[in-house]
Amino acid sequence: MKSLEIDVFLCRSDNFGVLLHCPDSGLTACIDAPELEPILAAAERRDWTITHIFTTHHHGDHVEANLALKERFNCEIIGPRNEAVAIPGIDRTVGDGDEFAFGKHLVRVIETPGHTAGHVCYHLPEDKLLFSADTLFALGCGRLFERSAIDMWHSLQKLAELPDETIVYFGHEYTLSNARFALTIDPDNSRLKSRAEDIEIMRARGDFTVPTTIALEKETNPFLRANDPDIRRTLGMPTESDEDVFAEIRKRKDNF
């Protein structure tokens, strides 16, 4: 079985478009559909025919091109059961723990309520891949539009429990601002400091910061580290619950 191939490109101003291609079966999934033209350009450049869209959540910057791609490719749109009514052209709904095949590759659905009520991430355990969209970013997490900080903390914990080596593709290039914020929360974390320096250089060159890994996020992403004693000391919250510390970090980021 050949490895899956991935093409990442920018859509809109800071959304990532991602095409996931299985060379054995010829299938190609578009992870969300932020903008038609760059998606078509990537598919043409690679000579891939889009057969699926894996939708993570209903926001316009993730579903805008659903109907146009469906019209063009007659692709199957898979998306979250808990917000299916808001997803244009959805064919098949999925929920937590559901599994389906993409060629011979297993895809597992992880529900991660927080950013939206029904947000799902797509995990390919055998390929060690996670598509986390607007739940987990490099050094960040999604804003809480439809669910509480408690819900988001538990959603992020599900992702943190995945194997360290899992490669994570996320929804937005917010990493530079996330890095600058993370340093205010976790200023003595040497791994974070060197990562932030790398990110400054990458972004100055115009390079994308996607993908990341679960291991790297656990070491440096303050939104996964609400139980860290140094962060708690910085926030003056030594004995509060992890959920409360997480909520405080999220609130500070909203105002950063």
Residues that bind Fe ion (CB under 5 A): 61, 134, 171
Could you tell me which stretch among 93-101, 132-140, 180-188, 225-233 binds Zn ion (CB under 5 A)? 132-140
* Least CB distance to Fe ion at residue 59 (A): 5
**DSSP states of 72-105 as a string?**
HH-PEEEEEGGGGGGSTT--EEE-TT-EEEETTE
> Is the Cβ of residue 57 or residue 108 nearer to Zn ion in the bound state?
57
**Which of 76/146 has CB closer to Zn ion?**
146
Contact 70, 62 (CB under 8 A): no
Dihedral of the alpha carbons of 90, 93, 98, 99, in degrees to the nearest 10: -40
Question: 59 or 195, CB closer to Zn ion?
Answer: 59
| Among the residue ranges 53-61, 74-82, 176-184, 239-247, the one whose residues contact Zn ion (CB under 5 A) | 53-61
With b for 16 or more beta-carbon neighbours within 10 A and e for fewer, the 210-222 pattern comes to bbbbbebbebbbb
172 binds Zn ion (CB under 5 A): no
Q: How far is the CB of 180 from Fe ion (least distance, A)?
A: 20
Say how far apart CA 20 and CA 54 lie, in whole Å: 10
Identity of the residue, 35 or 134, whose beta carbon is nearer to Zn ion in the bound complex: 134
Q: Draw the binding track, 196-225, toward Zn ion (x: CB under 5 A; -: no contact).
A: ------------------------------
Least separation in angstroms between residue 144's CB and Zn ion is 11
How far, rounded to the nearest angstrom, does the alpha carbon of residue 32 sit from its chain's CA centroid?
A: 10
Rounded Cα distance between 100 and 118, Å, is 18
Residue among 59, 105, 232, 253 that touches Zn ion (CB under 5 A): 59
* Identified binder of Zn ion from the candidate list 134, 173, 186, 248, rule CB under 5 A: 134
Interface size with Zn ion, residues (CB under 5 A):
2
Q: How far is the CB of 191 from Fe ion (least distance, A)?
A: 27
Side-chain half-sphere CA neighbours of 88 within 13 A: 16
250 contact, one of Zn ion, Fe ion, none, CB 5-8 Å limit per kind: none
Interacting span for Zn ion (CB under 5 A) from 4-12, 128-136, 159-167, 202-210: 128-136
Half-sphere exposure of 79 (CA within 13 A, CB side): 29
Closest to Zn ion by CB, 12 vs 72, is 12
The CA radius of gyration of the chain, in Å to the nearest whole number, is 18
Nearest CA-CA partner of 184 in 244, 249, 135: 249
Q: Which residues bind Zn ion (CB under 5 A)?
A: 59, 134
